[in-house]
Chain A
């Protein structure tokens, strides 16, 4: 029996604006399956986004959605969560949206450990504005603003989140669609700030100029480069060179922001 996505999609909005071969559609499908498996009421789910390609995602899903200013996805999500703590709040953003323009919002939300689920769609480039380099563009890669190759070091989003104090950090890829669904589900179930970095492909902005001839070659690159975090424990640093780990990288139980806040001001004993 084929899975029916129609229940969670706004009628008349598809086809989406993403380019041919953009993997955001695969992640959208994984996200819908994950939310469906948790049996949340549609009215209890809030999806916020900033600016960028992935920030068009809330327009297609039939939840409470907010399309906000650049990098301020988490800021609006925090407001929603504080006003109504019963809601399940998901904040979306691209790599540039979350780590460059919204970098401060990102690290301080991690520090507070407020109960929001953050998905960072990492495609290594600013796709919508014309392939400028972002903080996650790998060294040596081509971008329109780095025509001789990227010279700066890049961010590791998951290490950044762990260092800033997020209580659940995971990484997954668009190729591993069922793994992605599992990680999204675990992140939604976790109480406290959960960050899921989802490695995506931008064939138009990044792939064409970086020796990926087709969208499929980018998906197969994810398949070859991803190593499960459990398997990586038994591997040497030489074996892990050029690869990245996927799975739950960090999980801990920590006091959640709204609970400690309510206790401090005397709303809760």
Chain B
């Protein structure tokens, strides 16, 4: 079950370094036209590795509120 509500990507700021894609433990992100894109939101476990180590402020993960 997806733990993230949504993943926001700022394509204007993303420089396509692939750090987030390669660090993602569940393979939820992919590269499309040299920029990062969400491949499968269902796979995201909201570990925040991508957001923590994005050097370009380009990716933000919104966690799901606990019910």
Q: Which residues of A contact B (CB under 8 A)?
A: 1-3, 5, 9, 14-16, 18-26, 28-29, 175, 177-178, 203, 214-216, 219
Contacts and interface: CB of A to CB of B under 8 A. Distances in A.
Nearest 10 CB-CB pairings of A with B:
A25-B55, A21-B17, A20-B15, A216-B22, A20-B17, A15-B13, A2-B60, A215-B17, A177-B52, A26-B55
Contact of A219 (B19, B56, B62): B19
Contact of B12 (A15, A22, A175): A15
Interface residues of B, number: 20
B62 to A, nearest CB: 6
B47 interface: no
Nearest to B62: A2
A177 B57 CA distance: 14
B51 interface: yes
Nearest to A23: B55
Nearest to A218: B19
A20 B22 contact: no
A1 B53 CA distance: 17
Interface of B: 12-13, 15-19, 22-23, 51-57, 60-63
Contacts of B22: 214, 216
Contacts, number: 61
A9 B52 CA distance: 17
Residue among A14, A20, A24 with the most chain B CB within 10 A? Answer: A20
Contacts of B23: 216, 219
Nearest to A28: B55
B21 to A, nearest CB: 8
Contacts of B16: 20
A203 B32 CA distance: 21
Contacts of B51: 2-3
A1 B19 contact: no
A38 B63 CA distance: 25
Nearest to A24: B55
A215 B55 CA distance: 11
Nearest to A217: B22
B51 to A, nearest CB: 7
A48 B47 CA distance: 34
Contacts of A178: 52
A137 B55 CA distance: 23
A1 B61 CA distance: 8
B60 to A, nearest CB: 5
20 contacts: A1-B63, A2-B51, A2-B60, A2-B62, A14-B13, A14-B57, A15-B12, A20-B16, A22-B55, A25-B54, A26-B52, A26-B53, A29-B52, A29-B55, A216-B18, A216-B22, A216-B23, A219-B19, A219-B23, A219-B53
A175 B53 contact: yes
Contacts of B55: 18, 21-26, 28-29
A15 B51 CA distance: 16
B8 to A, nearest CB: 8
